[in-house]
Structure 1
Amino acid sequence: MASASSLFLASPIPTAPRTRTNPASSPSPARPSLRLRQPSPAVTVAAALQAEHQPAVVAAPKPPALPFRVGHGFDLHRLEPGLPLIIGGINIPHDRGCDAHSDGDVLLHCVVDAILGALGLPDIGQIFPDTDPRWKGAESSVFMKEAVKLMHQAGYELGNLDATLILQKPKISPFKETIRSNLCDLLGADPSVVNLKAKTHEKVDSLGENRSIAAHTVILLMRK
């Protein structure tokens, strides 16, 4: 997203040094050197406001050529009865599902945010806002594919990924390898660099009371 920090102010034009003269022999004072006028505060503020309201960036930037970049993702969704529970692109049998604008896939949303964070891009909510009807009920694999495309455009590939699901119910162990396999397919990654863990919340707060589900992801991107 553009910011006021990207505004460039005019720099003074260097001028030749003035020759010191004797005031008694000079009929008029020396003329000051010409300089470009700085923009007024009102102009600067207006430009900053205009930049602030530009659409979110959807193209990959050109980050510094670092050998690697690290990103962290977090997501949480409220669970409601009668909705499908989608985790990692897999429909998990449960009496509750995520209340969300899209399919509410907490794991894929989390991974997308980790990739975007590593690239220094706006988060998933800015690039795919829940006010946009195009994403109503959308599969989160659409967001994943876009994030992976941005990663490659920026000149990076996946080093490794470590994700943790936090939910009280249902038990994820029977579906864990299927979820991980689908995650690898979306990332175009070997299973050896994609790790998935699942933990309960010891019946504490909304997570432990089966009223919500959350995920954390840490990702390492390597320069190609």
Structure 2
Amino acid sequence: MAASIECLVSSQRPPPSYGGRRVVVDDSRLASASTPLFGVRSAHAASVSCSSRGRFESPRLAVHRSTICSASTVVDEISTKQQVKEAPVLPFRIGHGFDLHRLEPNLPLIIGGLNIPHDRGCEAHSDGDVLYHCVVDAILGALGLPDIGQLFPDSDPKWKGCTSDVFMKEAVRRMHEAGYVLGNLDATLILQRPKLSPHKEAIRANLCELLQADPSVVNLKAKTHEKVDSLGENRSIAAHTVVLLMRK
């Protein structure tokens, strides 16, 4: 922004509806101003503290060194609670999931629906599939629903030893019921051992089947924890997941 300009305002020609019986307004001299695209902080502060009682920022800032640029469309401002309620629903939603389980000897290690050979497994009320639990929470979070612990509480014997694909199917059902499909998924597993490289494609295939998604939108990564804390000492396993849901 040039040093002589304090504010840049977008504008558009108004429709030819101004005027009355006593006064006729020349439309060619009018412009509809929207929220300033750019403004120097000092100019904004001065406009707020000035004696003008104008509701919007653009007219108040106009008294400062401003320049106006033409816009093909003026973006509608959302300034009231009613406008927020009437605003269109976003065509996407984003959710994040996290899960961690303690590893104990002589238990099966289930990750992404696979039984991975290892000397330890996840201690949990269900089968302890840390990846599926994480994905479920990400989907539920994107939809603004209660988390997996509330929908499938470990206090309910019904879920004792349950395979986590049951939770996945319910999350996907709710996703479709709300009018969304999976846009993409990015998951990171954190464990010191065992190596997941030989199993990643099979795990990804299971995810794609349950999510009814193409492999191109499902990504899976595995990281060690550099032998730091319980994750790095092979005493626990964790997962992070981010999902993008798109409206059908």
Q: Structure 1-normalised TM-score?
A: 0.71
SS of 1:222's partner is strand
* Equivalent in the alignment of 1:175: 199
* Equivalent in the alignment of 1:149: 173
* Equivalent in the alignment of 1:87: 111
Given candidates 126, 134, 150, the residue that maps to 2:158 is 134
Is 1:101–1:130's contact at 8 Å kept on the other side of the alignment? yes
C-alpha offsets along residues 148-177 of structure 1, whole Å, 9 cap, x if unaligned? 000000000000000000000000000000
SS of 2:102's partner is strand
Give the Cα separation in 1 of the matches to 2:207 and 2:119: 24
SS of 2:246's partner is strand
> Is there any run of 5+ residues in structure 1 with no aligned partner, and where?
1-63
Task: Tell me the CA shift for residue 66 of structure 1.
Answer: 1.8
SS of 2:155's partner is coil
C-alpha offsets along residues 14-53 of structure 1, whole Å, 9 cap, x if unaligned? xxxxxxxxxxxxxxxxxxxxxxxxxxxxxxxxxxxxxxxx
* Equivalent in the alignment of 1:113: 137
Give the Cα separation in 2 of the matches to 1:156 and 1:185: 17
Give the Cα separation in 2 of the matches to 1:158 and 1:195: 12
* Equivalent in the alignment of 2:185: 161
Map residues 1-224 of structure 1 onto 2, 5 A cutoff. Answer: 65-224=89-248
Is 1:84–1:92's contact at 8 Å kept on the other side of the alignment? yes
Identity score, percent? 85
> Is there any run of 5+ residues in structure 2 with no aligned partner, and where?
1-87
Task: Tell me the CA shift for residue 65 of structure 1.
Answer: 2.8
Is 1:102–1:140's contact at 8 Å kept on the other side of the alignment? yes
Task: Tell me the CA shift for residue 189 of structure 1.
Answer: 0.4
* Equivalent in the alignment of 1:31: none
Give the Cα separation in 2 of the matches to 1:159 and 1:150: 15
Task: Tell me the CA shift for residue 201 of structure 1.
Answer: 0.1
Give the Cα separation in 2 of the matches to 1:65 and 1:120: 14
Work out which of the two has the higher radius of gyration on C-alpha atoms and give 1 or 2.
Answer: 2
What is the identity, as a one-letter code, of the residue corresponding to 1:221? Answer: L
Number of positions where the alignment pairs a residue of Structure 1 with one of Structure 2:
161
Give the Cα separation in 2 of the matches to 1:213 and 1:73: 14
Is 1:161–1:193's contact at 8 Å kept on the other side of the alignment? yes
After superposition, the CA RMSD in angstroms is: 0.7
SS of 2:171's partner is helix
SS of 1:168's partner is coil
Is 1:165–1:199's contact at 8 Å kept on the other side of the alignment? yes
* Equivalent in the alignment of 1:38: none
* Equivalent in the alignment of 2:81: none
* Equivalent in the alignment of 2:85: none
Give the Cα separation in 2 of the matches to 1:146 and 1:152: 10
